[in-house]
Structure 1
Amino acid sequence: MNAEKIILDTEDHYRVVSVDRLHDCINIYVESVQAQCLCPNCCLPAGKVHSYYTRRFSDLPAFGSPCTLFLKARKFRCRTDECPVKIFTERFGDHFSAYKRKTDRLEKALCNLAIQNGGRPGERLCNLLSMPASDNTLLRLVHSAPMPECPNVTELGVDDWAMKKRDRYGSILVDLSTNKPIGLLPDREEDTLSGWLKAHPGIRIVSRDRYGNYRRAVSCGAPQAIQVADRWHLLKNLGEAVRKMLEREHVAMRKARESQAVSAGAQKARIQSLASPRQHEKFRQVKDMLARNIPVREIARVTKMSRITIRKYRNCDELPRRHCTLSSGLGKHLEFISERLAAEPDLQLKQLLAELQTRGYRGAYSTLSDGLAQFGLRCGKKQRMKKVLPADGAFWRPSKAVTLFFQDSDKLSSPQQKLLADLRSKSIPLDKTFGLVSDFRLMMLKKRSSRELDGWIDAANDSGISEVAGFANGLLQDYQAVKNAFDTKWSNGPVEGNVNRLKTIKRQMYGRGSLDLLERRLILTPS
């Protein structure tokens, strides 16, 4: 095979003069053999050579070494009398572009590396691959890369993403027919999305979450489009309502459980509440302001608290207990600690730590001390522990129990099924809630029909459970989109996947990428 075909893969345009292998690079000398060239001004062929000059190009590496092409090019005379250009440099249709110092194939490779990895990581990778390029060069290639034309989208998915969490948000637009992103918007305001939709009048389906700005923007910018509420967000909203009900019911059941234990003479230690006096004071302040019918927004402004927390306090008679999960795994050693304290009341903490480490405990001395304090155990100045029974951690937690209401019974383990049956038997509201959740999941995931939705909303309102009833009333505010979620195949699943990919790209750049760079890397990256 000829060297011309190996190096340039082009016939009759170039001729390889020589190849030099140096210590750390490879130099290839090439000359042009075009018979004539088109004038860039009048576009007429010219064959009269004026002079020669040499152009230098960086090329793809060869045999693990950087490669440089030295191209002997020519200058031509334009013989057209009417053309003001008399002398012009030779133009090439492939491999070598005007005013460039890199071959087209090298620029394409560098651009793909920059799109996939970004500036600094791409620079390090290029150095390893014998294609040295600075981070500024790589980012310049990304910004100069042509963006694909926006297709005629008919099925659109929209969702928000955090530029800076709890501060600035943007919107992502995804073509649901291809599951590919088509653009990023600088915010999640109604006017921005509405303006984009007006510029694309072919939209027929819009899948979104239940954010009010998106609902109003679609109604204004694309009134002809069918709006579909995302099914995952509906289940998420229902799960939040169930969790609030579980927290309220948890307090009532715990009180009854403790009163039964005291009346029966069972003196058991409980997990000490981690709430500080300041938190109790905040709770009493919020309850007092709620009793005076002060709006939640005003309470949040005065107390500097989240509106979600304030709404949670509304349904609680006392401050909800914080549950702390010990990452060191102390909970599974509580029975052993109880036995050791019963056998040796003056056991020192350092000795207990040594014994626990032989049993697989991986926490440090201070971690053990803090962890035992959370379970009601105290250490004196001489590190002697009081003889206190450990807490019985068998009582359920709302954050964990809520998952039992949304899983199929055949996928639950035997302890989980037993706990769920115990909760339903001891609490009428929990039993009603389980039935409502099961019916909602059956309609959405199995039957995929909204024929029973009206009856479910009426049943939720008549159940006497304020949290579930509030969720049902919220469905009425976006009723048609919720119905379409049951009856159509569209969802925000592809949008959520692209949001996850966008967050990965953003974190790869340590959050310092501009919106234009994020959009280019998101759209140009092969999916």
Structure 2
Amino acid sequence: MRAVAIEDVLFPGIDVRVTAVHVTAEQVAVEGRSCGRPPACPDCGCAGRRVHSRYERRVAERPVVGRSLVIWISVRRFFCERASCRRRTFVEQVPDLSERYRRHSVGLRRWMQAVATFLGGRPGERLCRVLQLPTGRTHLLGLLTAPVVPERAPRVLGVDEFAFRKGWRYGTVLVDIETARVVDVLPDRDAATFAGWLREHTGAEIICRDRASAYSSAVREAAPGAQEIADRWHLLHNLSSAVEKTCHQHRSCLRKQAEADRDAEPRRIINPLPPPTLPPTKIAVRTVDRYSDIHRLIGQGHSVSEIARRLHLDRKTVRRFRDTGLDELLASARMGRPKGVLEPFTAYLTERFTDGVTSPTDLFHEIRERGYQGSDLPVRRYVAGLKTGTVEPARGAIPSPRKITTWIMLPRGALKPREEEQLLNVRLACPDIARACDLGRVSNVLVTATR
């Protein structure tokens, strides 16, 4: 077997001769000398012949055997023998190892550039610290270079907003749809900024955007000949929102059907429940007060924005209290309302409790057999609330609007048999949701057919 030189391991294909290696617990230091062909003058291109001097450079390299690697390399300085050249001396650069003015090797710089591209500053710095790469977040961000912006806009231009800091500062990203590459990034999402960019970069025939009016006005102003279309993601997102809104509006139909199914078979109530009254919680009182204040101001003719400023609320909150009934708002404010993995089993727990099974342990084992995967603590809390009357008894197990929307938007055949059965029950309970389901599935197929 042929012995492998250390140069072939540390510097494959690089003209460097290793003279010494020093290994410590935290670092590997390698001393070497460049031994390649003399380079040419970077100004005039004259080949170097006479060596002026040598000096040592410190270059950080990629880690080896879990330790950081530092290279002390002796490089040559040459005379430039062309009299017309203003440069008298120049230093050689070892190809694929060293670069002018840089203290990191070419390979290490590529590694850190990839880390900065995918992770950014602080997360990239934390990863580099684990990988034994000596760098900081400022240096990582300095390795990122902005792509060259073409003089003309792509034929199919995609435009959408993104958040530098959510809720505070937003920008605009421009994408070439045909090549799936970012073209440019604008510092804000104003119509004037986007219109100015379109004037400087002509050539866009199709502009794919969301429903923001700012981008539409910029297109009409700066590129009136371009065709405006909506992209597939926003079409599906808007379709999903419309279906979910319909499911919210007709939730009462599902509730009536669930109560009718529960009361279809008479049961002997051994331990009758107290009437579901609203516990005197602070959030419930606040909900009633906020509901009355918002509807009083709406009756006086105030706008949503004015009400939000006067009551120090978000406009979405004002719209929710305006469009949602008080009973539904209070239902979400009831104390002890179970969330998460227990919520689908509350109707069954209530039925078994009214049948006389009041042991939390027995009820926990029963719902475990029916698919419950949580701990017994939520079950004990819910049963204790049923005994004291501090939780609202489940009036029937109905799926949430978001879950129904997920069933509708998924491709046919992607649902499990139990989910198909639940969706069928929802369609039978409410004709409006059934119509929304048919329209949503047809629209989904039309949008995704060209994918």
User: Taking structure 2 as the reference length, what is the TM-score of the superposition?
Assistant: 0.74
CA shift at 1:413, angstroms? Answer: 1.4
2:147 matches 1:140 = no
> What amino acid sits opposite 2:139 in the alignment?
R
> What amino acid sits opposite 1:143 in the alignment?
G
Distance 2:392 2:324 in 1: 29
8 Å CA contact retained: 2:116, 2:143: no
Distance 2:286 2:58 in 1: 72
CA shift at 1:214, angstroms? Answer: 1.7
> What amino acid sits opposite 2:147 in the alignment?
P
2:377 matches 1:377 = no
8 Å CA contact retained: 1:169, 1:186: yes
| Match of residue 201 from structure 1 | 202
Distance 1:99 1:405 in 2: 60
| Match of residue 503 from structure 1 | none
| Match of residue 438 from structure 2 | 438
Distance 1:71 1:390 in 2: 78
Distance 2:258 2:48 in 1: 98
| Match of residue 99 from structure 1 | 101
- Identity score, percent: 26
1:256–1:415 Cα change, 3 Å: closer
2:291 matches 1:283 = yes
> What amino acid sits opposite 1:219 in the alignment?
R
2:298 matches 1:299 = no
Which stretches in structure 1 are left out of the alignment for 5+ residues?
380-384, 425-429, 449-485, 491-527
8 Å CA contact retained: 1:158, 1:206: yes
User: Taking structure 1 as the reference length, what is the TM-score of the superposition?
Assistant: 0.65
| Match of residue 423 from structure 2 | 416
Distance 1:253 1:6 in 2: 70
User: What secondary structure is seen at the aligned counterpart in 2 of 1:438?
Assistant: helix
| Match of residue 191 from structure 1 | 192
8 Å CA contact retained: 1:36, 1:46: yes
Selected match of 2:339 from 326, 330, 337: 326
8 Å CA contact retained: 1:73, 1:90: yes
- Asked which structure has the greater RCO (Cα within 8 Å, sep 6+), the reply is 1
8 Å CA contact retained: 2:18, 2:30: no
Distance 1:147 1:98 in 2: 21
- How far does the alpha carbon of each residue in 1:171-207 deviate from its partner, in whole angstroms, 9 at most, with x for none? 2222211223333333222122222222321222221
CA shift at 1:31, angstroms? Answer: 2.9
1:288–1:253 Cα change, 3 Å: farther
> What amino acid sits opposite 2:175 in the alignment?
V
Distance 2:273 2:430 in 1: 21
Distance 1:257 1:22 in 2: 74
Selected match of 1:86 from 85, 88, 91: 88
Matches within 5 A, 1:25-424: 25-35=28-38, 37-38=40-41, 40-62=42-64, 64-92=66-94, 94-123=96-125, 125-126=127-128, 128-129=130-131, 131-136=132-137, 139-151=138-150, 153-251=154-252, 276-315=284-323, 318-321=326-329, 322-323=331-332, 324-327=337-340, 329=342, 332=345, 335=348, 339=352, 343=356, 352-356=359-363, 360=368, 362=374, 367=378, 371-372=382-383, 377=386, 379=388, 390-394=393-397, 398-402=401-405, 413-424=420-431
Matches within 5 A, 1:492-511: none
> What amino acid sits opposite 1:188 in the alignment?
R
User: What secondary structure is seen at the aligned counterpart in 2 of 1:133?
Assistant: coil
- How far does the alpha carbon of each residue in 1:85-111 deviate from its partner, in whole angstroms, 9 at most, with x for none? 434434555522222222222222232
